[in-house]
Homo-oligomer: A and B are copies of this chain.
């Protein structure tokens, strides 16, 4: 975390090394203890939180930039990361323009490319950026105030995720390697914010053919030990490409 003075020096060169007018914001979803989480940051100047973001290096492909930004905040790489929308309102960074009036780089309009990521909660080591003192998971049921248009970005990402659930498999990136059927169901219920019938859920998800049933069960629980499953990566990838079912 740097002071405003230091920040300005730090970012003085930004105009030279980053592509002007273009930024990237990432909505990073994780799942832990039956709750859906988003990775967020907070500067100590303001009470408002914001999403992990950054800029595109002059000669860097944007997908690579998104990956780099994600890695800088989480330590992880090669996860599900996908464009979902571009936010291009000229006033979306009005607050920053005013706050950093004398900074050449921040005092410009930014078109922000929104990416959403699905990651395994336990793999992430949240790391603040140069604006922030805190980088941490926030529960979807307990969200803070957002900076700029980041609430809109977040909300759009969540809508996209819910839509994706209907025609593509989900879970590989969000779940640990091995998991039980009730755990996977809980993920779906949490994303959709809706209860599902466990028997029908199981039949349907097994019908997609994207799961491997393992011999072991999850011991240590207070009740009957449930079977463990893992994803069948080959079928999972195929389903991501082809879509699940439905349609014409």
Contacts and interface: CB of A to CB of B under 8 A. Distances in A.
Interface of A: 19-22, 56, 58-63, 65, 83, 85-86, 88-90, 109, 111, 113, 163, 165-167, 188, 192, 194, 196, 243, 245-248
B62 A111 contact: yes
A109 B247 contact: no
Given A167-B163, A192-B248, A58 B109 contact: yes
Which of the listed residues A90, A113, A167 has the most CB atoms from chain B within 10 Å of its own CB?
Answer: A90
Contacts of A166: 167, 243, 246-248
Contacts of A111: 19, 22, 56, 62, 111, 113
Given A83-B85, A86-B86, A167-B246, 18 more contacts: A20-B21, A22-B22, A56-B88, A56-B111, A58-B109, A59-B90, A62-B111, A83-B86, A86-B113, A88-B113, A111-B111, A111-B113, A163-B167, A163-B243, A165-B247, A166-B167, A166-B243, A166-B247
Contacts of A246: 166-167, 245-246
B248 A194 contact: yes
A63 B63 CA distance: 22
Contacts of A243: 163, 166
13 contacts: A19-B109, A22-B111, A58-B109, A62-B88, A62-B89, A62-B111, A65-B88, A86-B113, A165-B247, A165-B248, A166-B246, A167-B247, A192-B248
